[in-house]
Amino acid sequence: PSPAGAAPPKPQLRPLPAKLPAGLRRNTGVRPVALTFDDGPSPAWTPKVLDQLRAARVTATFCVVGREVQRHPELVRRIVREGHQLCNHSWRHDLDLARRPVAEIRADLARTNRAIQAAAPGAPVAFYRQPGGRWTPEVLGVAKELGMLPLHWAVDPQDWDKPTAATIAKRVHNAARPGSIVLLHDGGGDRAATLAACPHLIADLKHRFGIARLR
Protein backbone atom coordinates (compact mmCIF):
# COMPACT_ATOMS: atom_id res chain seq x y z
CA PRO A 1 0.00 0.00 0.00
CA SER A 2 1.15 3.53 -0.74
CA PRO A 3 1.75 5.87 2.20
CA ALA A 4 -1.13 8.16 3.16
CA GLY A 5 -1.21 11.29 1.02
CA ALA A 6 1.11 9.86 -1.66
CA ALA A 7 0.37 10.95 -5.22
CA PRO A 8 -1.29 8.27 -7.34
CA PRO A 9 1.06 6.63 -9.84
CA LYS A 10 1.25 8.38 -13.19
CA PRO A 11 -0.34 6.48 -16.06
CA GLN A 12 2.10 4.63 -18.28
CA LEU A 13 2.95 6.36 -21.54
CA ARG A 14 1.83 4.51 -24.64
CA PRO A 15 4.67 3.41 -26.94
CA LEU A 16 5.14 5.37 -30.13
CA PRO A 17 4.02 3.49 -33.23
CA ALA A 18 6.82 2.00 -35.34
CA LYS A 19 5.83 4.22 -38.26
CA LEU A 20 3.85 7.42 -38.68
CA PRO A 21 0.09 6.81 -38.58
CA ALA A 22 -1.94 7.22 -41.76
CA GLY A 23 -3.86 10.43 -42.34
CA LEU A 24 -1.15 13.02 -41.73
CA ARG A 25 -0.98 16.02 -44.04
CA ARG A 26 2.53 15.89 -45.54
CA ASN A 27 2.12 17.87 -48.76
CA THR A 28 0.01 20.66 -50.21
CA GLY A 29 -1.64 18.57 -52.92
CA VAL A 30 -0.67 21.17 -55.53
CA ARG A 31 2.63 22.26 -57.11
CA PRO A 32 3.37 25.23 -54.79
CA VAL A 33 5.05 24.47 -51.50
CA ALA A 34 3.96 25.70 -48.05
CA LEU A 35 6.10 27.31 -45.37
CA THR A 36 5.43 26.48 -41.71
CA PHE A 37 7.05 28.04 -38.65
CA ASP A 38 6.96 26.28 -35.26
CA ASP A 39 7.33 27.04 -31.55
CA GLY A 40 6.43 30.74 -31.46
CA PRO A 41 5.25 33.32 -31.19
CA SER A 42 8.56 34.82 -30.08
CA PRO A 43 9.01 38.57 -29.59
CA ALA A 44 12.65 38.17 -30.66
CA TRP A 45 12.06 36.33 -33.94
CA THR A 46 8.42 36.21 -35.06
CA PRO A 47 8.20 39.92 -36.04
CA LYS A 48 11.36 39.57 -38.15
CA VAL A 49 10.03 36.46 -39.88
CA LEU A 50 6.76 38.30 -40.55
CA ASP A 51 8.70 41.24 -42.01
CA GLN A 52 10.51 38.88 -44.40
CA LEU A 53 7.31 37.15 -45.47
CA ARG A 54 5.67 40.49 -46.13
CA ALA A 55 8.67 41.67 -48.17
CA ALA A 56 8.54 38.45 -50.22
CA ARG A 57 4.74 38.68 -50.55
CA VAL A 58 4.16 35.14 -49.35
CA THR A 59 2.11 33.65 -46.53
CA ALA A 60 2.93 30.87 -44.09
CA THR A 61 1.37 28.73 -41.37
CA PHE A 62 2.47 29.45 -37.80
CA CYS A 63 2.32 26.45 -35.46
CA VAL A 64 1.98 28.24 -32.12
CA VAL A 65 2.57 27.02 -28.57
CA GLY A 66 -0.28 27.88 -26.19
CA ARG A 67 1.75 29.38 -23.35
CA GLU A 68 3.64 31.61 -25.83
CA VAL A 69 0.31 32.69 -27.31
CA GLN A 70 -0.84 33.65 -23.81
CA ARG A 71 2.36 35.66 -23.25
CA HIS A 72 2.38 37.40 -26.64
CA PRO A 73 -1.20 37.72 -27.94
CA GLU A 74 -0.33 40.81 -29.99
CA LEU A 75 1.96 38.66 -32.18
CA VAL A 76 -0.87 36.20 -32.85
CA ARG A 77 -3.05 39.13 -33.90
CA ARG A 78 -0.34 40.34 -36.28
CA ILE A 79 0.07 36.85 -37.78
CA VAL A 80 -3.67 36.78 -38.54
CA ARG A 81 -3.82 40.41 -39.68
CA GLU A 82 -1.09 39.81 -42.25
CA GLY A 83 -2.91 36.89 -43.82
CA HIS A 84 -1.12 33.91 -42.32
CA GLN A 85 -2.68 30.75 -40.93
CA LEU A 86 -2.58 29.36 -37.40
CA CYS A 87 -1.87 25.83 -36.28
CA ASN A 88 -2.19 24.48 -32.73
CA HIS A 89 1.22 23.15 -31.58
CA SER A 90 0.15 22.10 -28.05
CA TRP A 91 0.26 24.05 -24.80
CA ARG A 92 3.91 23.66 -23.81
CA HIS A 93 5.55 21.63 -26.59
CA ASP A 94 5.36 18.37 -24.66
CA LEU A 95 7.17 15.82 -26.83
CA ASP A 96 5.33 12.99 -25.05
CA LEU A 97 1.85 14.51 -25.31
CA ALA A 98 0.65 12.02 -27.92
CA ARG A 99 1.54 9.12 -25.59
CA ARG A 100 -0.51 10.43 -22.66
CA PRO A 101 -4.13 9.59 -21.74
CA VAL A 102 -6.64 10.77 -24.33
CA ALA A 103 -8.36 13.09 -21.81
CA GLU A 104 -5.02 14.79 -21.15
CA ILE A 105 -4.37 15.22 -24.87
CA ARG A 106 -7.84 16.68 -25.38
CA ALA A 107 -7.44 19.12 -22.47
CA ASP A 108 -4.06 20.31 -23.79
CA LEU A 109 -5.25 20.94 -27.35
CA ALA A 110 -8.49 22.58 -26.19
CA ARG A 111 -6.59 24.86 -23.78
CA THR A 112 -4.29 25.94 -26.62
CA ASN A 113 -7.24 26.67 -28.90
CA ARG A 114 -8.85 28.76 -26.17
CA ALA A 115 -5.66 30.81 -25.80
CA ILE A 116 -5.53 31.36 -29.56
CA GLN A 117 -9.18 32.46 -29.62
CA ALA A 118 -8.59 34.80 -26.67
CA ALA A 119 -5.70 36.40 -28.56
CA ALA A 120 -7.39 36.54 -31.98
CA PRO A 121 -11.14 36.00 -31.63
CA GLY A 122 -12.63 34.15 -34.59
CA ALA A 123 -9.30 33.20 -36.15
CA PRO A 124 -9.57 29.74 -37.66
CA VAL A 125 -7.24 27.04 -36.31
CA ALA A 126 -7.42 24.50 -39.11
CA PHE A 127 -4.39 22.39 -38.17
CA TYR A 128 -2.66 20.63 -35.30
CA ARG A 129 1.03 19.72 -35.33
CA GLN A 130 2.38 17.26 -32.79
CA PRO A 131 5.65 18.40 -31.13
CA GLY A 132 8.59 16.50 -32.53
CA GLY A 133 6.33 14.85 -35.10
CA ARG A 134 5.80 12.11 -32.51
CA TRP A 135 2.31 11.14 -33.61
CA THR A 136 0.05 8.44 -32.26
CA PRO A 137 -3.40 7.42 -33.52
CA GLU A 138 -4.82 8.85 -30.27
CA VAL A 139 -3.54 12.42 -30.77
CA LEU A 140 -4.56 12.25 -34.42
CA GLY A 141 -8.08 11.30 -33.36
CA VAL A 142 -8.33 14.10 -30.79
CA ALA A 143 -7.13 16.69 -33.31
CA LYS A 144 -9.76 15.59 -35.82
CA GLU A 145 -12.43 15.52 -33.10
CA LEU A 146 -11.57 19.19 -32.36
CA GLY A 147 -11.85 20.09 -36.06
CA MET A 148 -8.13 20.22 -36.88
CA LEU A 149 -6.23 18.44 -39.63
CA PRO A 150 -3.01 16.73 -38.48
CA LEU A 151 -0.19 18.69 -40.11
CA HIS A 152 3.18 17.00 -40.62
CA TRP A 153 5.91 18.03 -43.10
CA ALA A 154 8.01 16.80 -46.01
CA VAL A 155 11.13 18.98 -45.59
CA ASP A 156 12.96 19.34 -42.25
CA PRO A 157 16.29 21.21 -42.42
CA GLN A 158 16.70 20.67 -38.65
CA ASP A 159 17.16 24.39 -38.06
CA TRP A 160 16.51 23.72 -34.34
CA ASP A 161 19.94 22.01 -34.22
CA LYS A 162 21.77 25.31 -34.96
CA PRO A 163 23.20 24.66 -38.45
CA THR A 164 24.43 27.69 -40.38
CA ALA A 165 22.08 29.74 -42.56
CA ALA A 166 23.80 28.36 -45.67
CA THR A 167 23.24 24.79 -44.47
CA ILE A 168 19.56 25.44 -43.75
CA ALA A 169 19.04 26.93 -47.21
CA LYS A 170 20.94 24.08 -48.89
CA ARG A 171 18.97 21.39 -47.04
CA VAL A 172 15.67 22.99 -48.04
CA HIS A 173 16.81 23.36 -51.65
CA ASN A 174 17.92 19.73 -51.90
CA ALA A 175 14.85 18.22 -50.21
CA ALA A 176 12.04 20.35 -51.67
CA ARG A 177 9.73 18.86 -54.27
CA PRO A 178 6.45 20.08 -55.76
CA GLY A 179 3.90 20.34 -52.93
CA SER A 180 6.41 20.05 -50.07
CA ILE A 181 5.45 21.30 -46.62
CA VAL A 182 8.60 22.92 -45.21
CA LEU A 183 9.29 22.93 -41.46
CA LEU A 184 11.11 25.95 -39.98
CA HIS A 185 11.14 27.59 -36.53
CA ASP A 186 10.40 31.13 -35.36
CA GLY A 187 10.51 30.26 -31.64
CA GLY A 188 12.01 27.93 -29.09
CA GLY A 189 15.52 29.37 -29.11
CA ASP A 190 17.97 31.48 -31.09
CA ARG A 191 16.61 31.58 -34.64
CA ALA A 192 19.19 33.94 -36.16
CA ALA A 193 20.37 31.31 -38.66
CA THR A 194 16.81 30.53 -39.78
CA LEU A 195 16.12 34.22 -40.20
CA ALA A 196 19.31 34.67 -42.23
CA ALA A 197 18.43 31.67 -44.43
CA CYS A 198 14.86 32.77 -45.16
CA PRO A 199 15.41 35.39 -47.92
CA HIS A 200 17.42 32.94 -50.02
CA LEU A 201 15.27 29.87 -49.42
CA ILE A 202 12.01 31.78 -49.95
CA ALA A 203 13.28 33.22 -53.25
CA ASP A 204 14.47 29.76 -54.34
CA LEU A 205 11.16 28.06 -53.49
CA LYS A 206 9.11 30.82 -55.12
CA HIS A 207 11.15 30.52 -58.31
CA ARG A 208 11.04 26.71 -58.49
CA PHE A 209 7.54 25.88 -57.26
CA GLY A 210 5.64 28.91 -55.94
CA ILE A 211 4.58 29.28 -52.30
CA ALA A 212 0.93 28.99 -51.34
CA ARG A 213 -1.38 28.80 -48.35
CA LEU A 214 -2.35 25.37 -47.11
CA ARG A 215 -5.89 24.40 -48.06
Distances (CA, A) of 208 to 42, 201, 202: 30, 11, 10
Mind telling me the catalytic residues?
A: 38, 185
H or E element in which residue 41 lies: none
Percentages helix, strand, coil for the chain, rounded to the nearest 5?
40, 15, 45
Query: Could you tell me if 150 and 130 are in contact, meaning their C-beta atoms sit under 8 angstroms apart?
Result: yes
Query: Could you tell me if 40 and 62 are in contact, meaning their C-beta atoms sit under 8 angstroms apart?
Result: yes
Read off φ and ψ for residue 116, nearest 5 degrees: -65, -45
